Chains A and B, each alone.
Chain A
Amino acid sequence: MKLEILKHFEDIGERFLLDISELDGTDTKVAGIYCLFAPTELVRAAGAIPVSLCGKREKPIADAEETLPPNLCPLIKSSYGYAVTNTCPFFAESDFLIGETTCDGKKKMYEFLGRIKPLHLMHLPYSTTEPHAISFWRDEILRLGRFLEESTGQKIDRDHLRFQIRIHNRIRKLLERIARFQAAEHAPLSGLTMMTVMESKSFFVYPEKYLDMLGEFIAEMESVAASGFSPFEPDAPRVLLTGCPLGKGSEKVLRIIEESGGAVVCMENCTGVKGLDLLVDEEEKDPFLALARRYLQIPCSCTTPNIGRINLLDRLISQYRIDAVVDLTWHCCHTYNIESRVVGDFVEGREVPFLHVETNYSTSDVEQLRTRIEAFLEMAGCRSNVRFANSRLN
C-alpha cells in the first residue's frame, strides 16, 4: 500500500527549488536556516523565505575537515562541507544565513561560514529560567528583525507578523495531528515515512499551499487509520527515538531500529515532534515578546538544566505508549551526549528500557549498531523474530 500523496512530501525539495526559480528577478530573498530556534514567522514577516540547509550526508565531510577539527559532530562538518563545496542547492539559493549559538561547535563553525555568505548570529540564553533570559532573548529577536529589514529592504509590519504567527501556529497544529496518528494501537506509518513527512516543514515557498497539502494528507491518513492498517507487526515494540536531529541521509539508526523489528512511532528531536506543541501566543499584544516566550521553551540540550525535554519525554512515553527509548547522539555532540545520562536516569526511572547510541554518518558501525539494537529490543522484552514489513507500505 502506498499513499499517492507521499510523493509530494518526497519531492518537496525539488518543488521548493522550482517555486523559487519562478521568483528569480523579483526582490524576494531566501534565508538559509540551520535550527528550530530561527523564528521563521519573523523571516516571513520581513518578506523572506526561510529554508533548511543541507547537513545530513557524509559526502562533504572530508572537505570540511580541511578546516574543521575531526572531533566535531558530523552535522556541523556536513553543513560546512556542503557550504564550502557549494553542493547544497538550498544554500546556493540563500541570500543570507541565520545561525544561533546553540552549541560550541556550531557557534565556532559559523565564524567560518560567515566568510562565504552574510550570516546573522542569534545569541541564545542557556539558562531559560533566570530573570534575564526572556528580555535578553526578545532583544535578540529584535536584533534579528533589524538584520532582516536591512537584508530584505522590507519593514516588519506588526500586523503582518501576527498573521504569520497564526499561519505558523496552524502548521504546527497540523503537523502535531499527523504525528499523533502514530499514537494509535496500529501506527499507520513507518518511522522512516513519518520522517519524510516531518522533514517537509522547512521546505515551502507558499505557506497556504503547504497548509493545504497537510490538510489533504490528514484526510487520507484518517481513512488509512480507520482501516486499521499498520506496516508493523502487531507485537512490534513501540520505540521512541530521541536526541540529535536526523534526516534523509542520516537516518541510519532509525532504519536499523525498524529493520530489527522495532516500530519507531515517535521522534523527540528537531526533525520530529520537538516544538510542535509549542504555539506562539496570538493574543499577546507584543508579538516579539510572544515569539521570545515560545522559542525559549524549545527543549534543546543547549539549555541548562533542560527540564523541558524531560517533561516532554514523560508526556510522549504515555501518549505514544512507548515500550523502549533509543537516544541518538552524534559523535562529539557534548550537550546531547552528557544529557543522555539525565534522560537515561529519567526513562529508566519510569521502567522503560533505554539505549544510548553515539555514532556518526558513516556506515562503518552499521553491523555493530544492528547487533546492539537487536539485542536491546530483545532485552526490552520483545520477540526478536518480528520483522519490519516495509514492503507493505512501499
Chain B
Amino acid sequence: MPSSHEEMWEKLNLDIDAHAGLLEVLGKFYGDIYMSQQGRLRGMEYLDFVLSEVHGLRIKELQDAKVSGRKVIGTFCVFVPEEIVLAAGGIQIGLCAGAEVGKGEAEKVLPRNTCALIKSFVGFKLARLCPFIESCDLIVGETTCDGKKKAYEIFSDYSPIYVMEIPQMKNFSDRELWRSEILRFKTQVEETTGNKITADNLKEAIHLLNNRRRVLQRLNRLRAAVPVPISGRDALLINQISFYDDPERFTAKIGELCDELEERVKNGTGIAPEGTTRLMLSGCPMAVPNWKLPYIIESSGAVVVGEESCIGTRNTRDLVDESAGTIEGMIDAILDRYMKIDCACFTPNTERQENIVGMARDVGVKGVIHYALSFCQPYTMEAYKVEKALAKAGIPMLAIETDYSMEDVEQLKTRVEAFVEMVR
C-alpha cells in the first residue's frame, strides 16, 4: 500500500508494525478464500478493491470528509438507526470485528469466556489496529446482550461511548422506551454533527437507506436461483462491505452487479457443479474477515444461498415506510421498522423461528446451519428452538458453536461434511 496511508495511520496513532502484519495476513487469507474461486462475477472486482483499500482509501475518504466538517459515527449493531446519522450529514460505519486480533490485550480486561466478536472490537481498540475506531467522532453501543452491555463499560475507559438501551420485549411500553431512545439519539447526533435534522433531510436519508436495502434484497433474490449464480462467500462479502462503504456508491455498484447476476440467471450459469447441496446460514453475524464457516461449507460440497443474520437478511428484510411527511411521522416509521428486528436478545422472539422457516422454504435449501459464537447465550439458546421449528417443517439443522480461531477447522469440516452427506 502507498506510504501516504502509513502517514495517515500514524496520525491515527495505529501500531504501524502490527497493522502491517495484520494487512498481510488479511491479504493472504482473502487470497486463499476469495481469489481462488472460479467463475466469479466481474462486479466482484469492485468489492475486491474496496476490501483491499478498506483501511486505506476508505479511511482517507473519511478523513477528507472530516476535514470538510462531516462527522463519523461508529456502531456495533443494526439497531442504531442510520437514518438519523445520515440525515444530520454524518457517516455511519460498522465497527463489528471478525478477526482474532488483540486477543491477549482484550483478555487482560475482559473474561476469557466472552464471545469472539466482543473480544475482537476491544482487542482492535487496545492493540491500536482499527483506523475506523480511531476515525470516529462518536461511538455508539447498545444493550443487546450481557456481554456487549458490560464490555462497553470497560471500553469506555479507553474511548467515550454513547449507549442506547434496546428493549428486550415487544410490548407497548417497549415501543415507548425505544422511541425515547431514538429521540435521545437524535439529540446526541445533532449535537455531535452540529446539524439539525429536518423533515427534508430525514426523508432523503430514509429513501437512500431503503435503496441500499432494496438492492441487497434484489441480490438475495437473485443468489437463490437454480443453479446458484454467486458463491455464498461473495454474497456475504457484499453484505459485509455495506457496513463500511458510502451508501450511495455501494447501492449503485451492487445494482450493476445484480444486472450481471440477472444475466447469469437468465442464461442458467451457475458457479457450483450440479448437485451441490444448497444450505442456509442462520445466527450470529459474521464480520470481516470471519469467512471461516462459509469457506468450510463451500469446500464440503455445499453452497450457501442465504444468511439469516445481522450481516444478512436481518439487516435488509424490512424497509422504513416512506409515506410520512413530518419528522414525528418519520420517527414513527423508523420505530416500526427497527422494532421488527428479530434479534435473539428479544424474548420470546418467535418471529425469528417463523422467518427462518419461511426463508429456508423461499430460497429452497436442503438444510440450515445455525451458527453461534461461543458464549453467546441468546443465540445458543435459540438454536434449540430453531432446530425444533425447522424439524417441524422437515428441514434438518446443524448447530455449530465456534469462534474466530482456526484450531477447530478439522472438526468443523467433519461435522459439516457429515451434515451434507446426511441432507444430500
Contact = CB atoms under 8 A, between A and B. Distances in A.
A92 B162 CA distance: 45
B153 interface: yes
Contact of A334 (B109, B150, B344, B345): B150
Contact of A71 (B150, B151, B171, B377): B377
Given A127-B163, A130-B165, A334-B147, A108 B377 contact: yes
B331 to A, nearest CB: 15
B110 interface: yes
Interface in A155-181: none
A127 B143 contact: yes
Contacts, number: 126
B7 interface: no
Interface size, B (range): 35 or more
Interface string B170-181: 010110110011
A342 B151 CA distance: 10
Given A123-B169, A125-B165, A132-B177, A111 B377 contact: no
A15 interface: no
A123 B174 contact: yes
A304 B152 contact: yes
A7 interface: no
A132 B377 CA distance: 27
The SS class assigned to the B binding surface is: helix
A126 B150 CA distance: 11
Contacts of B184: 130-131
B391 interface: no
A362 B35 CA distance: 49
Interface range for A? 35 or more
A344 to B, nearest CB: 11
A301 interface: yes
Contacts of A72: 377, 381
Nearest to A131: B180
B111 interface: yes
A341 B154 contact: yes
6 contacts: A123-B171, A331-B113, A335-B146, A338-B154, A339-B150, A341-B109
Given A131-B180, A132-B181, A342-B154, 11 more contacts: A69-B381, A71-B377, A72-B381, A104-B378, A108-B347, A123-B174, A132-B176, A136-B173, A335-B150, A338-B150, A339-B153
Interface of A: 67-69, 71-72, 101, 103-105, 107-111, 114, 121, 123, 125-127, 130-132, 136, 139-140, 143, 301-302, 304-305, 329, 331-332, 334-335, 337-342, 358
Interface of B: 109-111, 113-114, 143, 145-147, 149-154, 163, 165, 167-169, 171, 173-174, 176-177, 180-181, 184, 344-345, 347-348, 374-375, 377-378, 380-385, 401
